[in-house]
Amino acid sequence: MNNQEYAKMVLNELTHTLTKIDTNSAEKFVELVDAADEVFCAGAGRSGFQIKGFAMRLMHMGKASYVVGETCTPNIKEDGLLVVCSGSGETKSLVNHAMKAKEVGAKVALITINPESTIAKIADVVVEISAPSPKSAKQGEVVSIQPMGSLFEQSEGLFMDISIMMLMERKGLDSDTMFGRHANME
């Protein structure tokens, strides 16, 4: 197969996963992000890379956002939101983060394949992405040609970008306004 054929197959997979996300869950996710004083972002592995991009876009919007585990991340408080990306919803460190957030009264949002997971059971909103992953007991509806959890990781990144677009619309922001907060020490 050539790159064009692979591209069409991957785009079809992404169309499937993104259009299967429940609209009510997506709206609630955006509402929780919008209402939070601070947003704490956590994920492991490739999901961790995706969530860092989300934290950056929130910062571009003027929202206080942090990546859990970074040395300059403050403590989460009652008015905070923890956003967790975890295909399985069972990654031990992420389960611990979610439990700590709930312990202090903060909200938890989970983006996952597994809406029955440990984190899902304590989350205030669960955004389910129907994609396969070798780490999840529950497999999504689609069978992917891509390796391992690639489809989930791509889908969660695109879902978070779509959420940013929804937040931008709510706040009346555009890319030019947000670019004013882009790093100038690169």
13 is catalytic: no
Nearest Cα neighbor of 85 from 144, 136, 132, 44 is 44
Is there a domain that residue 181 lies in? no
Is there a domain that residue 173 lies in? no
Is there a domain that residue 68 lies in? yes
Number of domains in the chain: 1
- The structure's pTM equals 0.92
Output the domain CATH number for residue 98: 3.40.50.10490
Is there a domain that residue 100 lies in? yes
Is there a domain that residue 4 lies in? no
pLDDT score, position 184: 66
Is there a domain that residue 138 lies in? yes
Is there a domain that residue 178 lies in? no
pLDDT score, position 140: 55
Residue numbers of the domain that contains 135: 15-168
pLDDT score, position 147: 84
Measured CA distances, 171 to 31, 109, 110 (Å):
12, 21, 23
Strand order from edge to edge, sheet including 80-85: 64-67, 38-43, 80-85, 107-112, 125-128
Of 153, 156, 169, 186, which is the active-site residue?
153
pLDDT score, position 185: 64
pLDDT score, position 173: 86
The whole-angstrom separation of Cα 51 and Cα 142 is: 23
pLDDT score, position 1: 87
Mean pLDDT, 10 residues at a time, the chain of 186 residues: 93 94 98 97 96 96 95 95 96 98 98 96 97 61 80 96 96 82 68
pLDDT score, position 125: 98
Is there a domain that residue 114 lies in? yes
